[in-house]
Amino acid sequence: MDCRDVKEHLSEYVDEMLPEKEASEIKDHLARCADCLGEYESTLKIIKHMNEMETIDAPAEFLEKVTARLEKRFSFGGWLRRLFVPLRVKLPLELAGIAAAVALLVYVFGVRDGRDLYEVTISMSGERGQTIVVPEKPGEKRDEPKRRDKKGGERSPSLEEVIRAAGWRIVSTERCEDSNIPASMIVELPADEYQDLLGELNRLGVVETRPSPVFEEEQDVIKVKIVVQNAGP
C-alpha cells in the first residue's frame, strides 16, 4: 500500500471502518512513513477538535418566533385548507349549500307568490247550484249567508261578467269539462277592494266565508282564487 492509497483510506481507518487486513497494512505504513503519519495525526486532531466544538443553542426567543410563524400558518392555512377539504366532507357541505339555496329561492319566489295568491275556497251553490265561500276579512263580522232566489228572474250575470264589470282582472279560469261553467278562477284586484269582491259574490249566491288572509300593509294588489262548488247544471 503506497502513500496515495493510505491517504485515500485514512478517513475510514480513523473511524475503524476498514477490514482488518487493510487496517493492518495502513498501520504498518504509518509506522514507517512520517509524511503519512503527519496526515493521520492532523486528521485525528481536527476530528478531536470538531468533536469538542461548543454546541450553539438557538436564541432565547426561538420558541416564540417559531410559534408566531406557526400561528400565522395555522390561521391562514386553516382558512386555505377549508377550500381544499376532503371530498367526503366537501360533497355533503356542497349539497347542503345547494339545498339551502333552493330553499331560499322557493321562499323568495314560491312562498312569496303563495302569499300574493290568497288561495281561498269559494263554493257556489243554491238554486243555480252556486255557493260561494270566501275568506272572512280579519275583524269582520261573519255575515249570514245570503240566499237569493233567481228562479223566474231575469238572467243573472255570470261570475266572469261580475268580475270584469268591477274592473278586476281574471288571471286564469278552470272550467268543468262538460258544462264549461267555471270551476275556479284566479282574480287579481286591489287589496282594499276585497270587501267589494265579497259583496259582488254575495249577490251571486250563497257565500260562505272562511278564515281570511292577512294582508300585508304594503301589499296593494292581491290575487284571490275563487273555487266554485256544485257548479254543474
Partner 1 sequence: MQKQDTKDDIELESIDLAKSFLAGDRRSFDRLIMLHKRLVFNLCYRSLGDYDEADDCAQDVFIKVSRSLKDFRFGSRFTTWLYRITVNTCKNRIGSLEYRLRSRTVRIDTERDMDDKPKVLEIENHRHTPVVEFAKKEIDHLIQCAVNTLPAKQRLVVVLRDIEGRSYKEIGEIMGFELGTVKSTLSRAREQLRELLKGKI
Rounded least distance, CB 38 to partner 1, Å: 9
What's CA 221's distance to the chain center, in Å?
Answer: 32
Q: Which stretch binds partner 1 (CB under 8 A): 27-35, 36-44, 131-139, 202-210?
A: 36-44
Rounded least distance, CB 7 to partner 1, Å: 7
Rounded least distance, CB 64 to partner 1, Å: 10
Do the Cβ atoms of 228 and 181 come closer than 8 Å? yes
Q: Give the residue, chosen from 5, 12, 119, 196, that forms a contact with partner 1 under the rule CB under 8 A.
A: 12
Q: Check binding of 55 to partner 1 (CB under 8 A).
A: yes
Q: Check binding of 25 to partner 1 (CB under 8 A).
A: no
User: Whose CA is closest to 159, among 133, 189, 184?
Assistant: 184
Q: How far apart are CA 211 and CA 120, in angstroms?
A: 9
Q: Give the residue, chosen from 2, 8, 28, 127, that forms a contact with partner 1 under the rule CB under 8 A.
A: 8
Alpha helix segments (H runs only) across the chain: 3-14, 20-32, 34-51, 62-83, 87-105, 112-116, 159-165, 194-204
Rounded least distance, CB 118 to partner 1, Å: 56
Q: Give the residue, chosen from 59, 86, 139, 152, that forms a contact with partner 1 under the rule CB under 8 A.
A: 59
Do the Cβ atoms of 138 and 209 come closer than 8 Å? no
Q: How far apart are CA 228 and CA 121, in angstroms?
A: 8
Q: Check binding of 10 to partner 1 (CB under 8 A).
A: yes
Q: Is the dihedral of CA 209, 214, 216, 222 positive or negative?
A: negative
Rounded least distance, CB 215 to partner 1, Å: 56
User: Whose CA is closest to 82, among 94, 98, 70?
Assistant: 94
Q: Give the residue, chosen from 4, 15, 21, 141, that forms a contact with partner 1 under the rule CB under 8 A.
A: 15
Q: Give the residue, chosen from 2, 24, 28, 66, that forms a contact with partner 1 under the rule CB under 8 A.
A: 66
Residues that bind partner 1 (CB under 8 A): 7-12, 14-15, 17, 39, 42-43, 45-47, 49-59, 62-63, 65-67, 69-70, 73-74
